[in-house]
Amino acid sequence: MGARENIIRHSVPADHSCLFTSVAYLCQGTSGEVELRTAGRKLREVCAQAVLADTDPASRAIMLGHDSVEAYVQWIRNETHWGGEPEVLMLAEHFETELVIVSCESLSLLRYAEGGKNGTAYLLYTGQHYDPLPNAAATQSDAGVACRAFEAAAAGVETRDKAAISLAQLHNLEAARRAKERRVQRLKCSGCGSLCDDAAAFQAHCGEVEHGDDFAYDCEQVEVVVGADEALPEGNVDLNAPEVFTFYNASSANTLSFSMRYDGAPFQLGGETFATLEAYWRGPAVSEASLDEREQRLADALRAQYRPSSEGGAALLAALAGTAQRMVVCVDVDPWLGMQAAGGISSGQNMFGKALMTLRDEAAAA
């Protein structure tokens, strides 16, 4: 038999009750979303009653980290609270079943109620979620299954333990792969399903592609996953890439930053003094200007603020030089000024970031 043929992973909802539903699935044979939710509530109550029955309630409360056993009971009955090690132990004793927690974080096994007469049940713990690891033979048919644990006298414990650790390793590999995935927003044509980069691209698509008579020229926004090894669509930037320097335009005014709100480098422009770049940007010189004029006025304001003859300007220039050849990206809700940062992948014109990179090149050439 292969290393993982007799133990498999079964997923339960990540709804704060995953420990209880996992144990119900393994030790009671419970199946079905509604049934598992009900069983989870009952197992919370099993823990509550076990604590209330303790002959030394004061010590039990201290061990559980609560002021009283009554406080614990109220806490565990609240379905927004997770179960943990105390509940694992209580449930193992209740079912007289050895519960083995397979930790994805430490790649180790933690055994509770070892040697339980009703067998051994494995639970995968990712650090945030529990999933049951049932006996594969007991999952072939959910009908009439009373228990999905391994029998107490079943051979091959060492093999099952290794297989359980292997499942934890597989989880970690998959989690690492997902962590590298990036996501972009696209418009999906309701007529043919084509993906378009933006509204302008969708409009062009509607004019170029023939659709059915009932096509209503509508679309929906969808999220597209881009793998770690795939190139990003044109116009998108991965803010987590090492070659990208990202700053937020809404950051604190008191700490040295490229934010327009930074107040450590006042400057003069057009006969006026501005405490921050934001003060200039929100004034009539910019608000009444065209987009082409805004680009030039942004460049002029940056040269004035980043002048090397002032202490604040020199500090900003030094910080800008420290970005080396990295792409400078301003994250801002204004799609002209900066970029949006949803999902770690951004799109937008980033004119502020581009102006800073131009200034950086000018300073390096001076």
177-195 average pLDDT score: 78
pLDDT score at 6:
84
pLDDT for 261-303, tens place per residue?
Answer: 999 999 999 999 999 999 999 998 898 888 889 999 999 999 9
* Residue matched to tokens 């559980």: 64
* Residue matched to tokens 């698509």: 205
Q: What residues pair up with 130 in beta bridges, in sequence order?
A: 125
Give the total residue count for the chain. 366
What's the number of CA atoms in the CB half-sphere (13 Å) around residue 254?
0
pLDDT for 74-116, tens place per residue?
Answer: 999 999 999 999 999 999 999 999 999 999 999 999 999 998 9
* Residue matched to tokens 């565990």: 76
Residue 292 makes CB contacts below 8 A (sequence gap 6+) with none
Phi, psi for residue 101 in degrees, rounded to 5: -90, 120
Of 327, 350, 354, 355, nearest in space to 337 by CA: 350
**Percent of the chain's residues with pLDDT above 70:** 88
166-195 average pLDDT score: 83
What is the rounded CA–CA span in Å between residue 40 and residue 315?
59
Q: Does domain 18-179 have CATH number 3.20.20.70?
A: no
Phi, psi for residue 218 in degrees, rounded to 5: -115, 165
Residue 127 Cα distances to 81, 84, 103, 131, 254, angstroms:
15, 11, 7, 11, 37
Q: At what angle do helices 69-77 and 33-52 cross, to 10 degrees?
A: 180
Whole-model pTM: value is 0.57
Asked if residues 135 and 149 have their Cβ atoms less than 8 Å apart, the reply is: yes
If one looks up domain 236-365 in CATH, what number appears?
1.10.357.40
Q: How many other C-beta atoms are found inside a 10 Å radius of the C-beta of residue 197?
A: 17
Q: Which two tokens stand for residue 22?
A: 């996992």
Kindly tell me if the per-residue pLDDT of 236 is higher than 80.
Answer: no
pLDDT score at 1:
38
Of 320, 322, 308, nearest in space to 356 by CA: 320
125-149 average pLDDT score: 79
